């Protein structure tokens, strides 16, 4: 397909961060339109960072759309998967940048899901002490969450996303058409992060997701467009108030304390990030109930919605001898932990979340119930 001269219709959600502000452009076919990139700074060269699954699907389209803006367009193709979100993959990006003589104005394009986006962002933050980068997310999860807000990272064997930086992209370009090639399991994983925004910020959106889960699972364009736009609006609103997670931004981690433990405990890639978050949200909702923030009816409602999205709601056993001990050990290696005290995002009333610690007995109860039922 050749790049289109005429602009394609799209919506823009603005993320207001003073001199680091940018637009999140959302529309179908944006990858085919060279016009999509008209606001980027002038530069001689671009580096597309992608992986061996996404490259055959979309790298040509992006490359053609960039041709009118950049004299040299390079590409580096990383191995696919969460298990490759590592120093080794990051170094492949640096190797490619240096081998091709990329300079401080070279623009990096992250073409792929959250793994590519997080690693490209971290490479951009540190190559020559910082070069511009653009997020071109091609998974639902990346379009509704990871491409927005400037968190970049790689994993460490002892903890998820432990090495990274806050570094904002120049723009985010969500081409909704890319979601058509997403495997069903990945679509479900993205829906976990969409569902997340309801209980923490907007119960009207939660009602809408419940009413439209069939359309979302069927990938109806209008439903996906609304889900991406509303999710980005909520995330932009949160990040605009607390870019570096001094407080409020941590609510975006609803379900993630339990979820990250599941991901690390099972081995990165065994459960998808979104699957772990889906199950983790059900666990965090039950903890919220035990702490008095929500009632049993809400926990059941959330559980049904997570199930309807095709996500697991029964937690895995991480250690047959000491499951609780293993969960607790993994949850302590969470960035929200302070002096070894585990912090959870809990719902204090519907549409509102807080970060707090919880009595060990309640955490133990949640874990015991969650692996059983
Ligand atoms: P992913 O990047 O591994 O992508 C999922 C799979 O889909 C991969 O195999 C990928 O190659 C493939 N894929 C991507 N686009 C495709 C397409 N259009 N068609 C077919 N296949 C496609 O996983 P993800 O769910 O996108 O992202 C998860 C990662 O995001 C985790 O590492 C998580 O920690 C991170 N994350 C970061 C933030 C943040 O704020 N930075 C937020 C949430 C999650
Ligand atoms: N995904 C959590 C955050 O961006 O803060």
* pLDDT at site 4: 54
Spans of all domains in the chain: 11-181, 187-371
d(CA 373, CA 371): 6
* pLDDT at site 2: 47
Q: For ligand 2, say whether the CB of 249 is within 6 Å of any of its atoms.
A: yes
Q: For ligand 2, say whether the CB of 141 is within 6 Å of any of its atoms.
A: no
Q: For ligand 1, say whether the CB of 141 is within 6 Å of any of its atoms.
A: yes
* pLDDT at site 335: 82
* The ligand 2 atom nearest the CA atom of 249: 5
* pLDDT at site 7: 52
What is the separation, in whole angstroms, between the first and last Cα of the chain?
A: 49
Contacts of 186 (CB under 8 A, 6+ apart): 113, 139, 140, 141, 272, 274
Contacts of 326 (CB under 8 A, 6+ apart): 265, 318, 319
Instruction: Just give the CATH number of 11-181.
Output: 3.40.50.1970
* pLDDT at site 1: 46
**Identical fold, 11-181 and 187-371:** no
* pLDDT at site 334: 81
Instruction: Just give the CATH number of 187-371.
Output: 1.20.1090.10
Catalytic residue among 74, 151, 336, 343: 151
Catalytic residue among 273, 301, 326, 335: 273
Written as six digits, the tokens of 279 are: 């199950």
* pLDDT at site 219: 97
Contacts of 110 (CB under 8 A, 6+ apart): 49, 50, 116, 117, 119, 120, 121, 133, 134, 135, 136, 137, 147, 169
Q: For ligand 1, say whether the CB of 149 is within 6 Å of any of its atoms.
A: yes
What's the pTM value of the predicted model, to 2 decimals?
0.95
- Tens of pLDDT along the chain (373 residues) come to 444 544 568 899 999 999 999 999 999 999 998 888 888 888 899 999 999 999 999 999 999 999 999 999 999 999 999 999 999 999 999 999 999 999 999 999 999 999 999 999 999 999 999 999 999 999 999 999 999 999 999 998 887 889 999 999 999 999 999 999 999 999 999 999 999 999 999 999 999 999 999 999 999 999 999 999 999 999 999 999 999 999 999 999 999 999 999 998 998 889 999 999 999 999 999 999 999 999 999 999 999 999 999 999 999 999 999 999 999 999 998 888 888 899 999 999 999 999 999 999 999 999 999 997 5
């Amino acid at each position: 397909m050749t790049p289109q001269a005429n602009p394609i219709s799209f919506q823009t959600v603005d993320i207001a961060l003073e001199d680091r502000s940018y637009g999140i452009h959302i529309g179908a076919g944006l990858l085919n339109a060279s016009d999509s990139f008209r606001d980027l700074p002038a530069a001689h060269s671009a580096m597309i960072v992608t992986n061996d699954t996404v490259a055959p699907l979309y790298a040509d389209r992006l490359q053609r759309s960039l041709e009118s803006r950049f004299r040299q367009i390079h590409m580096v193709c990383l191995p696919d998967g969460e298990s490759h979100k590592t120093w080794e993959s990051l170094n492949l990006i640096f190797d490619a940048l240096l081998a091709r003589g990329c300079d401080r104005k070279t623009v990096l394009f992250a073409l792929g899901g959250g793994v590519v986006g997080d690693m490209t962002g971290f490479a951009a933050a540190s190559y020559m002490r910082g070069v511009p980068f653009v997020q071109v997310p091609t998974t639902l999860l990346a379009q509704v969450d990871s491409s927005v807000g400037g968190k970049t990272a790689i994993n460490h064997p002892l903890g998820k996303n432990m090495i990274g930086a806050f570094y904002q992209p120049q723009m985010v370009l969500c081409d909704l058409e890319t979601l058509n090639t997403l495997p069903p399991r990945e679509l479900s994983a993205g829906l976990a992060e969409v569902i997340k925004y309801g209980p923490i910020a907007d119960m009207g959106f939660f009602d809408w997701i419940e009413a439209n889960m069939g359309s979302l699972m069927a990938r109806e364009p209008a439903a996906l467009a609304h889900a991406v736009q509303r999710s980005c609006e909520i995330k932009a609103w949160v990040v605009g108030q607390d870019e570096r997670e001094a407080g409020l931004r941590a609510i975006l981690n609803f379900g993630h304390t339990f979820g990250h433990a599941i991901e690390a405990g099972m081995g990165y890639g065994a459960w998808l990030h979104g699957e772990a978050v889906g199950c983790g949200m059900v666990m965090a909702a039950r903890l919220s109930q035990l702490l008095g923030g929500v009632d049993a009816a809400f926990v059941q409602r959330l559980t049904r919605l997570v199930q309807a999205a095709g996500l697991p709601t029964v937690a895995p056993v991480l250690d047959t001898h000491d499951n609780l001990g293993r969960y607790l050990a993994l949850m302590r290696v969470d960035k929200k932990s302070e002096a070894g005290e585990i912090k959870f995002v809990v719902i204090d009333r519907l549409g509102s979340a807080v970060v707090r610690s919880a009595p060990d007995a309640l955490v133990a109860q949640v874990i015991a119930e969650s692996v059983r039922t």
